[in-house]
Amino acid sequence: MKIGIIGVGKLATAIVGGLIKTNKADEIVLSPRNKTNSQLLSRRYKHVRVAKDNQAVADECDWVFLTLPPSVATHEIQKLTFSKETSVISCIATLPHTECQKLIGDTVPVYKAFPLPSISHCDGPLAYYPCDAMIKPFLAGMGELFPCKDENAFRPLAAITSLIASHYAVQNTLQNWLVKNDIEPKVARNYLNDLTSSVTHLARQTEVDFNELIQSASTSQGLNEQAMKMLSEQGICRDIEATLDSIISRL
């Protein structure tokens, strides 16, 4: 199977890592842009090759990931032609599936997916739609699959991922605070990573909902209860909801 990627930046680099790990492709064909990234990947992996242009990727491959920047996506996609034997997976966050399908044409299978950088380790949630007999086996192994029945089921899952950078910003704030309190940066980082994975691990082990986990983490008049109360009074949860409402309107 030949798998192509058009738009070789951060996400495409992560997808190549996942494809290599799962051994899915006989060959991975990349668009030439970005030149540094595509050449680096083709030097790193023997199954990766750089095509002469975007159309050559579309012509040669059985599956094509579109990972173009939103600013140029519509313009670039409408210049391309795909045969009906090629399946296209658009990862362009702000381009709705219906619009992408229209640009590519009705005869070509077009999917929308939302891989994350963790796909390079075949890890993390991977939401996609529409769901049919072809896409599931193709994506299997590249992460935890979240098939969505339609665009309305897909958009909220995609919107949530906009908080990844903010999550790291919180971790960064916590690390800086620990360092200010004389904890070595490396110890601070390890401690925070351990704390984050242990609370996630605990949540995964149980069926109880997050609200119950808040209660079980909070001793009456204890530290968690105080911190939660102070942050809630400052409207942190309300602000996060408002941010997500704004993000989803772009998807």
Ligand X SMILES: NC(=O)c1ccc[n+]([C@@H]2O[C@H](COP(=O)([O-])OP(=O)(O)OC[C@H]3O[C@@H](n4cnc5c(N)ncnc54)[C@H](OP(=O)(O)O)[C@@H]3O)[C@@H](O)[C@H]2O)c1
Residues that bind ligand X (CB under 6 A): 6-12, 31, 33-34, 37, 54, 67-70, 72, 76, 91-93, 114, 116-117
CB of 20 or CB of 93, closer to ligand X: 93
CB of 20 or CB of 91, closer to ligand X: 91
CB of 37 or CB of 175, closer to ligand X: 37
CB of 60 or CB of 225, closer to ligand X: 60
Q: Which candidate, 161, 160, 126, 163, places its Cα nearest to that of 141?
A: 126
Q: Phi first, then psi: give them for residue 48, nearest 5 degrees.
A: -105, 135
CB of 70 or CB of 105, closer to ligand X: 70
CB of 141 to ligand X, least distance (A): 19
CB of 41 to ligand X, least distance (A): 11
Tokens of 39: 């050449």
CB of 136 to ligand X, least distance (A): 19
Report whether 61 contacts 2 (CB < 8 A): yes
CB of 217 to ligand X, least distance (A): 30
CB of 91 to ligand X, least distance (A): 5
In the complex, residue closest to ligand X by CB: 9
